[in-house]
Structure 1
């Protein structure tokens, strides 16, 4: 393969990328087939190659996978598939990554395994004897697989609100939605304009004002949903993102189904009892399946937990997240953003690449076996 061209005055960095899956974009291939990005196409691409216009404004899962494959070829990335990283340790001159395919060493290591790597399902009392299947939304490949079923969907974050709309569209027999914390739901295109770009200027104003503005947009778009069983959120979206790491929910049909009575909001799950789910208010439901949209863990403890770089939630701490120039250990993609994570990834990547290039001009930052 010929060397990758680079701009004059810039030092090329040719990293080795370790991919646990069998091919590029494995995590995207495991997502449900109804998925479409809720960030607009031109804010979802990677540097140097745009997502083609034929993918539409809201890119479908398979089109995004195709884009990732083309980007890998375009950028001539050195990806080693089928290699799972187990542990990262400091060694003389840099770091050692222990994998199931041997050891790799490098002056710099960038951890980019994603904030949603390990699905999280609550350990409800009575779960061991529960007589119905419990699945995380991450395992659902097609909403149509649950057509005709009575479904209890637990969790009202962005993934829960999104999949609820798909489930009703797919023809589930009954859909209950159990929520602990009511979400802030915003339209994907308020006033016909894509939402995510509109949030960028809000970064310049104080958080309370941002929260008031977004609440006003939500109320103007959907009105008061309390009459339909959806309480008003107790926190503004920016405050909740800062304190809990939970971003807004984007409406893709959910609100219309809710107001039409095609789904029902219920309170939190208290315990499981044989074939029944018992809610906190004593209500008993008998679903065919419980679908958990209850979030993810980053799964970083085994990899870097011994290095003192994680916070109490198992995510890179503020002191470590993305900026460790003195040690050469970097993290990317672990901080949520109202404007969408796909826009932030290239920004974080450029910062890390610039810091590596400026601070280590005499060192080879790539991994070697």
Structure 2
């Protein structure tokens, strides 16, 4: 039995699952539950849906994959959207999605603790919610990763994470150290070039860079089509042939490829290949400088593994995000210490005692949709048994001893 404290009157029984997170994953599973006639409650710590997209992304961001691979269940993107929707178009799609399915999260409800105690007890700063089911929809990218770098506290200029970077206009004509070479690091560096900044991008490890398109066809779409007919490693080999043909030998630019193929590496570690949208050409012409790992940050710049030392005006940490599930979900060993399900896709969406997980597949929004459909179907089967086979789409969430009805 868990040890719980609550103020008198601030407890709520939910006649349906509690969903933690109102990003794409939370919205997708909500829509699927709606389609199955199951009531639910979404708890969201921010004051908006898709807060990562709305609050922690840069202005020039576009979807990396064609829109048909990024839409959520039961609602397509508008026909007038481009092949690769912008950040703002994707946000508008999310808002339209929530409106279309009448999804109304409870905002500014930060889950401080959740634990199974005969039923799920979900504690926020205001209420304690009880339910038979808990759906974790906080995703793989809940919190920024801020690395420890020797001497960084001594740097004279601004040090920011890419989650607060909006535009290169703030860094016009500056020498900028960009720590990280994933999609964010590449795109931030490219954006900096547009404002005559000089980005120096730190590449510590090997990385796969693929063309976003080959002869007008999405590289991702090619991979998905081939995987229906060929083994994964053969598809990886074909993708690398396309990359070498389209981009050339990236090793000569200081961008060494891993020994494991791009799809195999993504499935095994979650490390996403970079889909090039123009940064590589800026690296080739010297506008983006590729640097080895940082050994120390100094007052005026940085020292590097190859012995170089350079001065910088600003530092941007394009070091990605991580799950925050271990901070609040207690009493279960379903997740690793890094906050990812121990069971690999496609079976990582369901745990014990009514625990469900959506958006942790390392397969983007396609994986999210897969999870959402499975979860809703599984809960709906249980719901119909509990309610004698009746469709309960009109059921109300009950709030006990609270002001909400």
Is this a same-fold pair by TM over 0.5?
yes
By how many angstroms is 1:86 displaced? 1.3
**Partner in structure 1 of residue 224 of structure 2:** 200
Is 2:125 the counterpart of 1:104? Answer: no
C-alpha separation in 2, matches of 1:266 and 1:136:
19
What is the aligned counterpart of 1:323 among 344, 350, 364? 350
By how many angstroms is 1:185 displaced? 1.1
**Partner in structure 2 of residue 258 of structure 1:** 283
Is 2:151 the counterpart of 1:146? Answer: no
- String of CA shifts for 1:316-342, please: whole Å, max 9, x gaps: 221783112x411111111212xxx12
Q: Is the 8 A contact 1:34 1:143 kept in 2?
A: no
Find the residue that maps to 2:329 and give its secondary structure: helix
C-alpha separation in 2, matches of 1:41 and 1:207:
23
Is 2:187 the counterpart of 1:162? Answer: yes
Q: Is the 8 A contact 2:357 2:371 kept in 1?
A: no
Q: Aligned runs of 1:68-107 on 2, under 5 Å?
A: 68-92=94-118, 94-107=119-132
Distance 1:35 1:44, change over 3 A: same
Q: Aligned runs of 1:158-237 on 2, under 5 Å?
A: 158-172=183-197, 174-204=198-228, 205-237=230-262
- String of CA shifts for 1:77-110, please: whole Å, max 9, x gaps: 1311111111111133x21111112111111111
- Number of aligned positions between the proteins: 356
**Partner in structure 2 of residue 311 of structure 1:** 336
**Partner in structure 1 of residue 380 of structure 2:** 357
**Partner in structure 2 of residue 3 of structure 1:** none
- String of CA shifts for 1:262-315, please: whole Å, max 9, x gaps: 111110011122222111111112111111111211111121154222214232
Find the residue that maps to 2:97 and give its secondary structure: helix
Is 2:299 the counterpart of 1:274? Answer: yes
C-alpha separation in 1, matches of 2:329 and 2:88:
32
C-alpha separation in 1, matches of 2:398 and 2:145:
34
TM-score by length of 2: 0.82
Distance 1:331 1:368, change over 3 A: farther
**Partner in structure 1 of residue 60 of structure 2:** 34
By how many angstroms is 1:33 displaced? 1.1
By how many angstroms is 1:257 displaced? 0.8
In the alignment, structure 2 segments of 5+ residues that lack a partner are 1-30, 400-405
By how many angstroms is 1:358 displaced? 2.2
Q: Is the 8 A contact 1:106 1:368 kept in 2?
A: no
C-alpha separation in 1, matches of 2:187 and 2:316:
13
By how many angstroms is 1:11 displaced? 4.5
C-alpha separation in 2, matches of 1:29 and 1:310:
27
What is the aligned counterpart of 1:43 among 51, 69, 72? 69
Distance 1:289 1:267, change over 3 A: same
Is 2:330 the counterpart of 1:300? Answer: no
**Partner in structure 2 of residue 65 of structure 1:** 91
By how many angstroms is 1:368 displaced? 5.4
TM-score by length of 1: 0.90
Find the residue that maps to 1:68 and give its secondary structure: helix
Q: Is the 8 A contact 1:87 1:303 kept in 2?
A: yes
Find the residue that maps to 1:199 and give its secondary structure: helix
Structure 1 stretch displaced more, 357-366 or 60-69: 357-366
**Partner in structure 1 of residue 47 of structure 2:** 22
Distance 1:234 1:167, change over 3 A: farther
Q: Is the 8 A contact 1:189 1:195 kept in 2?
A: yes
Q: Is the 8 A contact 1:144 1:171 kept in 2?
A: no
C-alpha separation in 1, matches of 2:120 and 2:41:
14
> RMSD in angstroms over aligned alpha carbons?
2.3
Structure 1 stretch displaced more, 234-243 or 250-259: 234-243
Structure 1 stretch displaced more, 194-203 or 272-281: 194-203
By how many angstroms is 1:55 displaced? 2.2
